[in-house]
Amino acid sequence: MTEVGSAKRRRTAGSGSTSATQRSIYPTWFYLPAGVLYLIFFAVPTFASFWFSLTRWTLFDTEFIGLDNFVQFFAEPQLSRGFLNTLIYGFVTSGAKVVLGLALAVLLTSQLVGRGYLRSVVFFPVLVSTIGVGITFKALLDPFDGVVNTMLATFGIEGPGWFTDPNQALLTIAAVDVWKGLGIATLIYIAGIVAIPQEYYEAARVDGAGAWRQFRSITLPLVQPATATVIILSLIGGLRSFDLIWATTGGGPGFTSDVIGSVIYKQYQAGFYGLSTAGNVILFLVVTAIMVPVSLLLNRKEVDR
């Protein structure tokens, strides 16, 4: 009893001098260490990139050439193709992760045989390195020796040249990306679904709502925050993608599966630092132009509810 009493007294004593104590208990310099790292290794390079993208740059000296890098980027098909591919890749992967992640999460929160096993097995690929996943699927989807096409052949189906067909390569990589990243989306959706009070479903069942109706009218609107998280994370990841593409096709065949990320690396390797940085600025603009409206839209919906 005395414990509670003294705690109360403390609280009143504290709140009496809030502004004075606030200054001392929560010192602003707590921002400082993180702020310094952020400034040096993130903000400075980002701002510098706007300048360097306008130059012909050899790391030793820079020559101002205006917008030439950007003109070149959009004039050369092997560079501008990466721009289009980035958009396709970002939207395909994040769309698939939303749909499949939600479907799997609904399945994995229902009464199901082997639920625990299924939950862990879906999450497994998240733990494997992207490069490892890329190498594995390159072997599995080999057009001649690969396991998948050999299997298909036994059913009399001629499998496509997954990574070697120019029309197919980008979508194959997107599918592998979904295979690898689905576990995260499913996990976020499971967390969202578990948080929905069971009473809503009971009430709906009393009113005679079937499974589909319950999903449409209760689950779907109430997992909106989870959907926002999944869309934002997977879009950011998809638009910035590089390593899986590099491990599987290296942007090929030709440059049909190049994205901005791989163009940046190729130009960097070739020593065109200015052009490479221009690619970075374009990526920056693309990601910002898409993410700002998307996150505003998703957050507004959340407030409305």
- Examine residue 7 and tell whether it contacts another protein (CB under 8 A): yes
Kindly indicate which of the ranges 88-96, 115-123, 196-204, 214-222 contains the residues binding another protein, using the contact rule CB under 8 A.
Answer: 115-123
- Examine residue 131 and tell whether it contacts another protein (CB under 8 A): yes
Residues 21-80 that bind another protein (CB under 8 A): 21-22, 24-28, 30-31, 33-34, 37-38, 40-46, 48-49, 52, 57, 59
Q: Which is nearer to another protein, 51 or 167 (CB)?
A: 51
* Whole-angstrom distance, CA of residue 246 vs CA of residue 258: 9
- Examine residue 210 and tell whether it contacts another protein (CB under 8 A): no
Q: Which is nearer to another protein, 145 or 158 (CB)?
A: 145
- Examine residue 206 and tell whether it contacts another protein (CB under 8 A): no
What mask, x for binding another protein by CB under 8 A, covers residues 152 to 191? ---------------------------x-------xx-xx
Kindly indicate which of the ranges 65-73, 91-99, 196-204, 285-293 contains the residues binding another protein, using the contact rule CB under 8 A.
Answer: 285-293
- Examine residue 107 and tell whether it contacts another protein (CB under 8 A): yes
- Examine residue 289 and tell whether it contacts another protein (CB under 8 A): no
For 51, residues 6+ apart whose C-beta sits below 8 A from its C-beta are none
- Examine residue 209 and tell whether it contacts another protein (CB under 8 A): no
Q: Which is nearer to another protein, 92 or 184 (CB)?
A: 184
* Whole-angstrom distance, CA of residue 92 vs CA of residue 98: 10
- Examine residue 243 and tell whether it contacts another protein (CB under 8 A): yes
Query: Which residue has 């899986």 as its token pair?
Result: 244
Q: Are 305 and 223 in contact (CB under 8 A)?
A: no
Closest separation in Å from C-beta 149 to another protein: 10
Closest separation in Å from C-beta 30 to another protein: 4
Q: Which is nearer to another protein, 132 or 167 (CB)?
A: 132
Q: Identify which of 242, 237, 188, 225 has the alpha carbon closest to the alpha carbon of residue 300.
A: 225
Residue 17: Cβ within 10 Å count: 9
∠ CA 186-236-184, rounded to 5°: 15
- Examine residue 263 and tell whether it contacts another protein (CB under 8 A): no
Sort residue 242 into left (φ over 0), alpha (ψ -120 to 50) or beta. Answer: alpha
Q: How many CA atoms lie within 13 A of 61 on its CB side?
A: 1
Closest separation in Å from C-beta 114 to another protein: 5
Q: Identify which of 299, 295, 300, 268 has the alpha carbon closest to the alpha carbon of residue 94.
A: 295
Q: Which is nearer to another protein, 21 or 167 (CB)?
A: 21
Q: Which is nearer to another protein, 127 or 206 (CB)?
A: 127
The secondary structure of residue 105, as a DSSP letter, is H
- Examine residue 195 and tell whether it contacts another protein (CB under 8 A): yes
Sort residue 196 into left (φ over 0), alpha (ψ -120 to 50) or beta. Answer: beta
Q: Are 264 and 286 in contact (CB under 8 A)?
A: no
Residue 213: Cβ within 10 Å count: 13
